[in-house]
Structure 1
Amino acid sequence: MKEAQDILHGALLKWRLLKSAEPLLVALALGGSAYLLFSSFWVAVMVFLISLLVGLWFVRPWKFTMAQICFQVDETIPPMEHSTGLILENENQLPLLSKIQRARASESLKNHQSDIRIEHALVPTAGVSLFVVLLAWLIHASGVFQLDRTTENIPEADVVTFQALDTTNLEILPPKISRQEIRISYPKYTQKPDAYTTQMNLRVLEGSHISWNIAFDQSVNGVQLQMGADSLQMDGTKDSFSKSLVADYANFYAIKFEDSLGNSYVSDLFALETYKDEPPIIEMEGLSQFSSFDFEDPQKLTFTTQLKDDFGLADVAIIATVSKGSGESVKFREERLGFDTELSPGTKRQDFSKTLNLRELKMEPGDELYFYVEAIDNKQPRPNISRTETYFSVIKDTVTNQFAVEGTLGADLMPDYFRSQRQLIIDTEKLIAETPVIETKEFNFRSNELGFDQKALRIKYGEFMGDESEGGPVVVTEVEAAAEDPLAEYTHDHDGSNEHNLVADEHEDHHHEEDGNVGEAENPLEAYVHNHEDPEASTLFAQSLKSKLKQAMAEMWDAELYLRLFQPEKSLPYQYKALKLIQDIKNSARIYVHRIGFDPPPIKEDKRLTGDLKEIGNYSKKETLEKEDDYENMRRAVARLEILLDADLKITKADRDLFHQAGNELARKAIEEPGKYLETLQTVKWLSESENIDSQQIKNALQGLYRALPKKQLLPNSSGRYQNELNHLFIESLNVE
């Protein structure tokens, strides 16, 4: 019985939702239509809320009751036998027959719950709403409604004024613009709504679509939009005209037309400025330009990146390049990595974080990582791309053998044994790791072998530093020789008496004088010779490197001791210290680079210092360079305007052509600074098209052209006249006037 009651409650809730959806669809349609027609978000929101409240009040879905839903069930499901209401009654208050009927109705409702039909008008409402939205979109696309809604008075600052070009009849009333509107459709990727304005001076995003819609109070013919040097015919007839174009660059424009009598009129010049879509801005935090890691370090780089863009981001990535090897065998692998933070497409500002794990990039000691952050905005068709500077990271290498020589010598003094200590460390660590799985005899044997190798390496370094012998002669008695060597099973046959085979015995044949003859007279060349018998003087290293090498040999002594005692784990620290000292010695050596440059030809000795200049001639060249004048027509226009002002002459067709060319030169400067030169450009354009001018217009054109022309540089002269600043300003003002 409880299940049947839940079915009825669910049907009531569904009925209320369906009835509430009807006014919601109507409100959405009206709100969207208002946005298309008025291009105002707040107007659309207001229309939506008002429509929704009115619709809900009209439908009143909260008024529906369980009795009404029971009636709907009885009407749509015949097996219920009009007994649905019994399901909601209290069973204890019903007679026996009603209880039986209540049970039958509950079972029937469970079996036919999918047959419940609720009365609503959702489908017709959706169709009407869709029709309203399509109608609003058609009106919006045609632009008729937007033009009609500008019938109110145009702001005084935006009123377009026209001047007649070829008539002086004051009785003629020139046509005026009664309605004007400019629609700016920004590129779709900006997600900006269309903007409408009555102001003719425009500043828009590069690539925006601009539509001019104007209407006159009289019938006119041949309306043209003069865009720079081009004249674009506007579409329309009688009194309503329109024109659309894409703003790809900055320019100037004016409106020109003819009235019904054939008189020509032109408006003032208006500026069309464009600005570019800026590339994304990337700010890195928590990351240094160069970083290095030891092999035992975690090898992780953690940093944050802040991205900003004026119209939204499309993609961001880390471009990483891993280099392996060196010299001609170097290899590069490039990867495109993402941030730990996911990009929200279209967002204008977002922070990203990243932890670069060099181990995950499969980097090994000696490998280098170069990476930078690249951001792409959503500009179409060619997006803007920004990238940061390159950051470097390297894992320190303790194995690589590099050639290095002393700064004053052109020879390589570094031996090949510098990488043997690292191999000893690897073998010792391997021995320690295999200790649980090998026998004691094999362990002792391998440990003693490593001790011998450590000794051999120490003797090699000792010879390289200048030690010419390991020690004094060793006297072995017969008893000691007969004694059994407890380490005989673990040593090489040459580990002892044949120890001299490690290093060639190069210094056996030194001759020593008797003690009575040594020191009798001091050798006068003692301070100037290199005595190989003195170990302190025989090394090829400088004093600082010699002390490090001695310290490394001392560490090798201790490392060998513990290896001989079968304690390799205690030998490892000393081996690492020796390796570090050896690396310091290697890195402290400088590389000698042979000088490469210009090798002059050999001097002929028979000509040297003779002072003979017969075959020596002087080179001379004369050339006249003329700098092209970028403002030649402007200067010619100034000269012609001065003549016209003094002689009170009429402007000829040649003058108008000259002023037109001067206006083109001035337009290049006016595009960069429209507020400074726009008025002058308007006056010059008026002079190039009109036959009726007055002296005031000529004066205005002269003043503007004087300001626009660059000042000529004064050439040096020998005049000693005193230049008074006040006189200079006075003369300059006279020239302007």
Structure 2
Amino acid sequence: MEWTLRFDPQASAPRLLMLAGQPLALRRDGDNWIASRVADAAFLYRVDPAEGRGPIPPLHRVDAVADTPPQVKALTGGLILVTPGQRNWSPAFAATDDYGVAANARLRVTLAIGEGENVSFSEREIPVTGSGSNGGWARDRRFAPRLDFSTFGFAAGGDMVVQLIVRDNRTPGPQEVRGPSLILRWPSPKQPESSGLTGMVNTTLPAYFRSQRQIIIDIEKLLKDKRGLPAERALARSASIGGDQQILRGRYSQFLGGENEGAPELPTADGEAHSDGDGHDHPPATTPNIFGEKEDVLAEFGHPHDESPASSLDPETRAILKQAVDEMWQSERELMTGHPDAALPYAYKALRFIKEVQQATRIFLSRVGPELPPIDASRRMTGKREGLASRQLEITPVERQDGPAAVAWRALGTGPDGVTGPVNLVPLDGWVRANATRLPDALALNGAIDAMRQQPGCASCRAKLRALLWTAMERPAGQIRRRRPADAAGTRYLDAIGGAP
């Protein structure tokens, strides 16, 4: 800030007196007197031509508003795809600031070229210039640089990420901010290497959304719509639900170590072992082990399912889960063969076993009540009160932080504590300095205190200071209101029961 003052008649050694601060000397430049300082906070000052010269000049107030950092906004979408034939890109940004955005900014460009694990990154910054009115002090600027793909080496299968870095006109030490990032993506022209991957994804995806209850709902819906569907359509829907049942069965089989992936053992004679020469194909009885193969070592000396989640299940829960998986297999078989009506009972049984497993894995804790001290039966019905103390809590008064302000407020009033003469404002001055951060307007209080010191008998000054103190003091805490007195009907009721209002 800079002041340029002129006095009539001419002053000899004028000063700027800062309230609660060091005075600021003025230097003469012809008929003018000049002073300057950095306004880093709000302050009060007065112009003093010379000591003892006329009445005391009034106070002037300067409010310092903190400089806010610039705001950057992207004018285009966050993710943009390259169009066929495109060879350049112009990302657009808008920057605003309360005291002006610098015309020169920087654009950070990050390139990610490649796919999979073969991705290379490069980063560089280029200077950009924005457009705006009012020259270098424009509060709104627009930045839209043109980026040529050949200059940056941008090609198909890569991403270009840009971010604008702007500054304001603050001196010294301009504030710098980074705007949002914009992404330009150039899709790769390569097609999926194998169509089998898509089929696998489509088959595995329902495992994240299907449950046994959902499978039952799908079966019941299929049975309801089966009459109006062609036979091929009904079979396809049944097989699709069977695929979901297969995926869910595999998920629950993981808790059994994967041992139940195949069909369950039949409890009838159909499950008897076969022998050579019975007309069936059988694998060789033994296969030679290859030394050093981890699969052969594990099969010969260990169990491949010891590290599975099944190791944390107790035998009873494991048996119930095995029954659920068996019922799922039966449901899956009927669904794959196009018999959803026969699969529905097995699906319900599997759901019931799953609920039993969920209940079995829960832990129930007994409710713990308060630990009361034991009752001394020897003192009961005796009337002895030795050692008993009152349980009534003492009321602790709230310590308020505005003691000097309250004392000054009462002294400036007309009540019993009012002071007609000069009031001691030293404690109040210290209280204002100590609580300046929480007061609504500390400068106004300082100005009112200074006016009281200069004119102790000013009635309007006293009223102004008292009003400011009332708004600055802490609000009293809420208190319990007394019960309202009884009305006529209540009084008659209390008299009837022998009570008193």
| Interval of TM-score (by shorter of Structure 1 and Structure 2) | 0.3 to 0.5
Query: Which of the two has greater helix per residue?
Result: 1
- Radius of gyration: which is bigger? 1
